[in-house]
Amino acid sequence: MNQYAPSLTEAHRRFLTDLFPGEGCLLSAEGRAAFSADSSRCRAMPWAVVRPERREQVVELLRWAEAEHMPLYPRARGTCQVGNAVPALGGVVVSLLRLDRILDVDPDDFVAVVEPGVVTADLQAVCAKKKLFYPPDPASVKMSTVIGNASTCAGGLRAVKYGVTRDWVLGLEAVLPGGRVLRAGGRMHKDVVGLDLTRLFIGACGKLGLITEMTVKLIPLPEASASVLAGFADLSSCMEGARAVFRAGLLPAACEFMDANVLEAVRRIDDVPLPEATRAALLFKVDGTAEGVRAETERLCAALRPLSPVGVTVGTGAEEEAVWTVRRRISPATFQIKPNKVAEDIAVPRSRVGEAVERAHLIGEEHGLPVLCYGHLGDGNLHVSIMHDVSVPGEAEAAERAKNAVFRLAIELGGTISGEHGTGLTKAAFVPEQLGAASIALMDAIKANFDPSGIMNPGKAW
Amino acid sequence: MADRQCILCGACMAVCPLLRATGREELSPRAKSDLNRLLAEGAADLSGDAVARLAGLCLGCHRCKAVCPQGVDVPEVVAQLRAAHPDFRRWLWKTWLTHAGTLWPAGSAAAKAVPEGLAPEKFGPSLRMLAGLSGGPGLTPLLEPVKFPDSCRGERMLLFAGCTATYVRKRWADTARRLLDGLGVEVLAADFGCCGSGLSAVGLSAEAGVLAERNLAAWRAAGRPRVAVFCASCLEGLRAYRPDDSAEAEAWRKALTPLSIVLHDIEFVVSPHATSAIGYHHPCHAPEPDPDLALLRRALGDRMVAATGKECCGFGGVMRLGAPELSATVNAGCWAALQGAELVLTGCSACATQLAATAPAGVTAGHWLELIA
Ligand SMILES: Cc1cc2nc3c(=O)[nH]c(=O)nc-3n(C[C@H](O)[C@H](O)[C@H](O)COP(=O)(O)OP(=O)(O)OC[C@H]3O[C@@H](n4cnc5c(N)ncnc54)[C@H](O)[C@@H]3O)c2cc1C
Ligand code: SF4
Ligand code: SF4
């Protein structure tokens, strides 16, 4: 067990306010409060918050923290949904939003270099002006950062074609406890020399070191896209529809799935451009050249036809966005069913998504709670929302039991308890079940090489 | 007030100009709503006054409210915190707004009216800005209306001018009246007062309610016609009125019309002397899509070279008086987005005031009505 500094001493305070003058160091209760929680709504008060504006400050901070055994919690926008940005064991939160420069967007090397505070959508906008494309697109793309995304290995709608954040990181600079500076990878799109230290930081949630700069890969911006919303009379023809599209040799940029409960919830707040008889739906996006998109859209619709979809809507040009409204309305719509939600994001091998959905519904029935399933079918990543009402006695507990059953289901189907959001505080208890002791021991040993005193983001699961 | 609780989703963080300009997460809308909750729950070691002071650092731009999936109204939370924990900034603002009639006609009187003890050095720039708000000449007109459509001919309408145009920039209201006249609109006389939005923002809802009643009464007395408004902040303030009768509330909302929508089909010719580098500042309170921008695009074509989207001018009402340095940071971001423009137009009295007072050398700024001959 690591021994941490038990609190902030007067000398600690002096050190921090000297290194981070003025607004750079927050010690007041009201100032620190904003850094006590993330989107998981887990909470723990930090002892102090610091805001570096230069890398040298980060180096100095990590040298000090190692010597003082002071827990440090790197924080970008705090949109993590499992508590990874929460200062669970007390210590100092390092808010990185002031290191927010886009250092380079290079149309010849096809790379971009960013600091930790750069919001992903802002990078994408700058790239788009140069007809370049940085594809990772978590639903939080407008409010989370490129490096936060890398630290959680965020996925998104386009992962089926373009992969997740991991697939776009070429290199990074990180400061390690003790103030060592590590540079791994670079601007090369290929590099096979040595162990891939860059990759170790992806999804590490700040547990190895603090990333101060990252180089990501870019590609040419697709010039056109189109979307297809298809409704089916039952779950199995819907799953078969997705299979048919891939078998036809198509690789859509997105392939989203929605079950009957989701469609019903959305209908309560908005129009759904599909017939009432729809029991499951698929939403595809294709992108590329204008001619390619036209041809692919036709082939996609043709591939679906043998499954007799009850409705097909194609959205192109200005109308494309409208097709996605139903998908975007899911999150607010779920609360039409019940006021509280336990939302998990399991992933299973693609062939087993249908089974996972059916069994998740059964779990709901067993616990007397509505379960809504939707998600990134194209990569087997399923969002399972267990709806409940905490003011009804017993429902919160039932939701908790149902959640555990969903996790077991994921592992049983050869899947994972989290495809995107991570484990952090909220899913910590389940990690040993999925990973096993030997893997965890190896991960701990790797971490010890970077962070011997365990000061980096302690208290979180792998 | 929010019917549902903040879920810390962070959607509001994507749009907050204060967070964008400062990188201070404790100033984000999410932090404000969360802090308010912690205070209400009685979290240890939080002082109400300190929370109100921190949360009070808000531009009141309402961008966060527009995107919140839970319907949380952060500026309203801030207003309530300010109301519950009053301090002198609130007083200052009230003085300004409730006495606009006497303070603003001779701009410098506004500065003089603030007792010495309440005008420490850091208020200097703010005071100068308001002091500089004299009736001065404004922008040189560059657009001449040459053809008026018949779409509104014979319609009876009210014009809501707002404090700035009533007391300082009378030219805005004169131009608006002339254009409406050209359209054949009969502009009815009405005893409108201040929209009251500045008062609500600082938690003075009772005083704001009195102003709302007066304005609604003026509209009723005129027979509930359309009300043309040329200041985005006034429009948002007026839209927030909630008459008790639901049919009347609906009629009020429908009656409120941005002036630019009424003027949209007028044909203008651009003066040959017009600069070809015109920028547009999209006010935080403007509707989406922005009808003023549509009108100006139509009239100015390629001359429009820059436009803000996410940036706030930094006026920020009472915040500017209490934290001028934050206001200045936000303002700098706004000018950065307008780079390349020699002339900047906008459709909000607060933005016009702020931009005119802070324009870099060689750049002029004002309400788009000033551009029309
Ligand atoms: C509405 C909503 C939708 C979402 N949709 C998706 C989705 O579609 N897909 C998905 O994968 N996730 C999604 N998320 C989760 C979340 O947005 C992601 O986890 C995101 O990557 C977090 O980024 P952030 O910038 O907010 O980082 P934070 O939450 O601040 O940090 C995340 C983790 O990274 C670490 N970290 C941050 N910066 C650094 C650094 N410079 N060096 C070292 N460690 C660092 C932190 O310590 C923490 O452990 C969603 C969240 C919300 C609220
Ligand atoms: S105020 Fe609304 S948008 Fe902002 S975090 Fe809370 S719920 Fe989300
Ligand atoms: S009103 Fe504007 S400045 Fe204030 S919190 Fe909301 S978005 Fe930020």
B:26-45 residues touching chain A, CB 8 A cutoff = 26, 28, 30-31, 34-35, 38, 43, 45
E runs forming strands in A289-370? 311-316, 340-347
| Inside any domain, residue B338 | yes
Residue bearing tokens 């309560």: A268
Sign of CA dihedral B28, B32, B37, B42: positive
| A224-330 and A337-422 agree in CATH topology | yes
**CATH class of the region A337-422:** alpha beta
Rounded to 5°, the CA angle B186-B190-B192 comes to 135
Q: How many CA atoms, within 13 angstroms, populate the side-chain half-sphere of residue A389?
A: 8
pLDDT: is B208 or A439 the higher one?
A: A439
Average of pLDDT values for A35-47? Answer: 96
Residue after which a domain boundary falls, among B61, B86, B111:
B86
Instruction: Please name the member of B9, B25, B46 whose beta carbon is closest to the beta carbon of A29.
Output: B46
**pLDDT of the residue at B193:** 84
Ligand 2 atom at minimum distance from B5 CA: 7
**pLDDT of the residue at B2:** 42
How confident is residue A450, by pLDDT bands cut at 50, 70 and 90?
very high
**pLDDT of the residue at B124:** 41
B11 touches chain A (CB under 8 A): yes
What is the Rg, in whole angstroms, of the alpha carbon atoms belonging to chain A? 23
| Inside any domain, residue B308 | yes
Mutation site for A-interface testing, chosen from B3, B5, B8, B41 by largest number of A Cβ within 10 Å: B8
Output the six-digit token pair for A47: 């002892």
Q: How many CB atoms lie within 10 A of CB A288?
A: 17
Domain ranges of chain A: 10-97, 102-220, 224-330, 337-422
Q: What does the alpha-carbon distance between residue B11 and residue A140 come to, in Å, rounded to a whole number? A: 8
Least confidently predicted of A206-215, A231-240, A290-299, B95-104: B95-104
Least confidently predicted of A8-22, A278-292, A378-392, B113-127: B113-127
Sign of CA dihedral A314, A318, A324, A329: negative
Least confidently predicted of A124-133, A143-152, B190-199: B190-199
3-state secondary structure of B148: coil
Q: What does the alpha-carbon distance between residue A257 and residue A378 come to, in Å, rounded to a whole number? A: 9
Domain that holds residue B28: 2-86
Residue after which a domain boundary falls, among B86, B108, B129:
B86
Cα distances (angstroms) measured from residue B139 to each of A9, B143, B281, B352, B367: 59, 11, 15, 11, 8
The string of DSSP codes covering B20-82 is HHH--GGGSHHHHHHHHHHHHTT-TT--HHHHHHHHT------HHHHH-TT---HHHHHHHHH
Looking at CATH, the fold of the domain delimited by A224-330 is given as Alpha-Beta Plaits (3.30.70)
Q: What does the alpha-carbon distance between residue A217 and residue A271 come to, in Å, rounded to a whole number? A: 39
A340 touches chain B (CB under 8 A): no
Q: How many domains does chain B have?
A: 2
CB A174 within 8 A of CB A190: no
DSSP code at position B164:
I
**CATH number for the domain harbouring residue B319:** 3.40.50
Mind spelling out the 3-state secondary structure of A359-381? HHHHHHHHHCCCEEEEEEHHHCE
Q: What does the alpha-carbon distance between residue A319 and residue A313 come to, in Å, rounded to a whole number? A: 10
3-state secondary structure of A73: strand
Span from the CA of B316 to the centroid of ligand 3 (angstroms): 9
- CA-nearest residue to B55 within chain A is A30
**pLDDT of the residue at B119:** 42
CB contact under 8 A, A30 and B8: no
pLDDT: is A244 or B80 the higher one?
A: A244
The string of DSSP codes covering A139-159 is TTTTTSBHHHHHHHT---TTH
Number of inter-chain CB pairs under 8 A, A vs B = 76
Q: What is the pLDDT of residues A174-201, one digit of tens each?
A: 999 999 999 999 999 999 999 999 999 9
Looking at CATH, the fold of the domain delimited by A102-220 is given as 3.30.465
Q: What is the pLDDT of residues A260-298, one digit of tens each?
A: 999 999 999 888 999 999 999 999 999 999 999 999 999
pTM to 2 decimals? 0.90
**pLDDT of the residue at B117:** 41
pLDDT above 60 for A419: yes
**pLDDT of the residue at A125:** 97
Looking at CATH, the fold of the domain delimited by A10-97 is given as 3.30.43
Q: Spell out, as residue ranges, where chain B has pLDDT lower than 50.
A: 1-2, 100-129, 131
**pLDDT of the residue at B69:** 87
**pLDDT of the residue at B114:** 43
